Amino acid sequence: MADWTLFEVFIRSKHGLNHKHVGSVHAADSEMAIENARDLYTRRNEGVSIWVVPSASITATATDEKEALFDPSDDKIYRHAGFYKLPDEVGHM
């Protein structure tokens, strides 16, 4: 079992629209990963649908790219729609 693959698990909850990442499991293949994920992450009525993805298939951003990728959006407040005056009738948006 040392050569089992790591899978990332995504669960869609009863009222949720999208699958959310909840953790990971080891398994020999994707079918077993689904069963293991069911047993680990849906014990307390958490979900109605499970996705599993081999962790190795995920391409992620690197920590040292953080500044280059995300800092430029810090000072661009005009990208938020906060300058519009909302008519009172609209209420909370």
Give Dmax (Cα) for the chain.
62
Which x/- pattern over 12-31 shows residues binding another protein (rule: CB under 8 A)? -------------xxxx--x
Among 4, 5, 13, 46, binds another protein (CB under 8 A): 4
- Given CA atoms 77, 78, 79, 84 in this order, what sign does their dihedral have? positive
Compute CA 82 distance to the chain's CA centroid, rounded to the nearest angstrom: 27
> What residue spans of the chain are helical by DSSP H?
30-41, 66-70
**Are 13 and 45 spatial neighbours (Cβ–Cβ below 8 Å)?**
no
The verdict on 53 binding another protein (CB under 8 A) reads no
Pick 44 or 85: Cβ nearer another protein: 44
Give how many residues touch another protein by CB under 8 A.
14
CA-atom Rg of the chain in angstroms: 20
The verdict on 6 binding another protein (CB under 8 A) reads no
Pick 40 or 69: Cβ nearer another protein: 40
Residues at the interface with another protein (CB under 8 A): 1, 4, 25-28, 31-32, 35-36, 38-40, 43
